[in-house]
Structure 1
């Protein structure tokens, strides 16, 4: 036993404050993020040293759930609880109210302590944009959104049971064009309506049964829309596609709409009255449609893909390279060539459609009919030259896919 003790190294503590300034900064920068927070709590001097280390936090979220509220940091990750006991939570380092005691008040409310902690952390690190998550059944949404420190969120996540009209009004009346709203769990009254329902930049409604066709037709300059469970029909979506084609302004960049699961999507209903081209991009087949007034629109083409439960639509300028995140690695971005070839083909298909419509109403053996037939033949030759084939009645353009991968 004495031999074992003799060969054990002798440990001693060394006050960090005795280190030179540059060395102290270096030591702090290589510490784990939870240890850095603990160091900052020890004194105002150490807090000031941590500040000048300019440690970057990629993602920050303030989560409001009454006594279980917390501030979550990601990359590097640590969860800072405003309660004394850390509840079951993803495996990130955790600090509780007891650890953070010097920064919190025993007499303040949980909301006020969350505010103080959030402000302190934001001054301590280089946090950048932040997100909010509010458990609506347990929190006063309006009270939180009126706090100045929480007004400039990038995304507001709402989690609830059954939302009340007043709660939703408080959120939608707060709208700003550079912020996102994600209602990710909960039930929204089916008779609910608000004129700002699509005014956020990125909108996600897990329960969209209250969304009607007329609501879709009100969309204008929204970046992304996700509609979960809803009562929209395939004819409704067809009407929406017509509206997109005929509009003089941009409606959206991306939209995803859940559909009722079935054996197949009735394409003849979905694309009724629409000129459609089947194209191959990013390793999958998709349907492409184009606007009717390309000179007034910055994104002239729409790509449509679907599964048995969802339809995804994205709109693109014919001068930009479309992009898509890698399915297995979200740090990789796939890029493809612009949709210019498909757009040209769609214009030819529309031209041919108009010619066929005119052909049906002209007199037999007339000079006009001969001219129309000649133009139709010329258009068909152009389509064939560009590589258009027909499969089950649908025009198909092959050989355009040229996707490449780059870091996102």
Structure 2
């Protein structure tokens, strides 16, 4: 959470109290609601943070969940509690997570947030909301498809590492971005498949570029989207990082210079 120049973060993880292991979440005998039957640091820390937000005028709240020490039965009640509150950044850290629990998170998380997931995600993972968040980072993106990239609309910043995309996939996405009738994103950076060698000719095939520059680390190219009434971000700065095997696209509002280059 942020108050003025002060920042506060809520980190959710399983802890041990002086009395022993933290309490379990159980179903209430009076209904389907969940309640804690013993002292539970996770529950208490979260609700303390909610009380702090009523005291201070918080500009932002980040929730970090570490999956390493959480028992499987804790995920659903934990997500039901923390994802119904107020937050603008959600971090899921750890080594791995069950697909069922990740699906539950995608169902419950707000879409107008920044999502950062560093845990390993299985290759067969699919969810309609995975590419709909305001900003998102996936450190293990081998499950992502080119159709997922093309489905992005009005996102801010997207970072995908460990993908299975090749140069042809990036070319296909760029053609789609040029012709799309809606704004897709402000910034995208993609790490290509591990053994894929960056090839500018394949990435830029049939893409009209201008103001190209090269240095030892990367090549930069300006591209223009088609002039659509519903789009504002019509100019793209494409950067191809040969040494890092990465490609980025940063978009801008159309300028007179960009418009003139496009019409030539």
- The interval holding the TM-score normalised by the smaller chain is 0.7 to 0.9
- Distance in 1 (CA, whole Å) between partners of 2:14 and 2:194 is 38
Counterpart contact for 2:165–2:193, Cα < 8 Å: no
Distance verdict in 2 for CA 1:347–1:176, change over 3 Å: farther
Give unpaired runs (5+ residues) of structure 2.
19-37
Structure 2 residue 252 is the aligned partner of structure 1 residue 316: yes
**1:167 maps to which residue?**
101
CA 1:110–1:313: 2 relative to 1, 3 Å: same
Instruction: Write the distance in 1 (CA, Å) between the matches of 2:203 and 2:41.
Output: 51
Q: State the alpha-carbon separation in 1 of the partners of residues 43 and 193 from structure 2.
A: 44
1:130 aligns with 2:46: no
Higher RCO structure, 1 or 2 (CA under 8 Å, sep 6+): 2
**Aligned match of 2:45:** 114
The match for 1:194 among 127, 130, 151 is 127
List gaps (5 residues or longer) in structure 1: 1-54, 69-82, 85-106, 319-338, 349-408
Q: Does 1:212 align with 2:212?
A: no
Question: Contact 1:135/1:158 (CA < 8 Å) preserved in 2?
Answer: yes
Give the paired residue count.
234
1:159-188 CA distance string (max 9 Å, x none): 12222111110111124331121002x211
Structure number with higher helix proportion: 1
Aligned partners of 1:108, 1:313: CA distance in 2, in Å? 49
1:344 aligns with 2:241: no
Q: What is the Cα-based RMSD across aligned positions, in Å? A: 2.5
Query: Counterpart of 1:14?
Result: none
Q: Distance in 1 between matches of 2:49 and 2:11?
A: 10
* Per-residue deviation, 1:306: 2.7
Give the CA deviation at 1:202. Answer: 0.5
After TM superposition, the structure 1 = structure 2 runs for residues 52-91 of structure 1, keeping only pairs within 5 Å, are 56=4, 58-67=6-15
Structure-2 residue corresponding to 1:305:
239
Q: Distance between the aligned counterparts of 2:250 and 2:55, measured in 1?
A: 40
What is the TM-score when the length of structure 2 is the normalising length? 0.79
Which residue of the partner structure matches residue 225 of structure 1? 158
Measure the CA separation in 1 of the matches of 2:83 and 2:109: 16
> In the alignment, which residue of structure 2 is the partner of 1:250?
183
Distance 1:108 1:295, change over 3 A: same
- Supply the distance in 2 between the matched residues of 1:260 and 1:149 (Cα, whole angstroms): 33
Using a 3 Å threshold, how does the CA distance of structure 1 residues 195 and 266 change in structure 2: closer, same or farther?
same
Q: Which has the larger radius of gyration?
A: 1
SS at match of 1:187: coil
Question: How far apart in 1 are the matches of 2:53 and 2:258?
Answer: 48
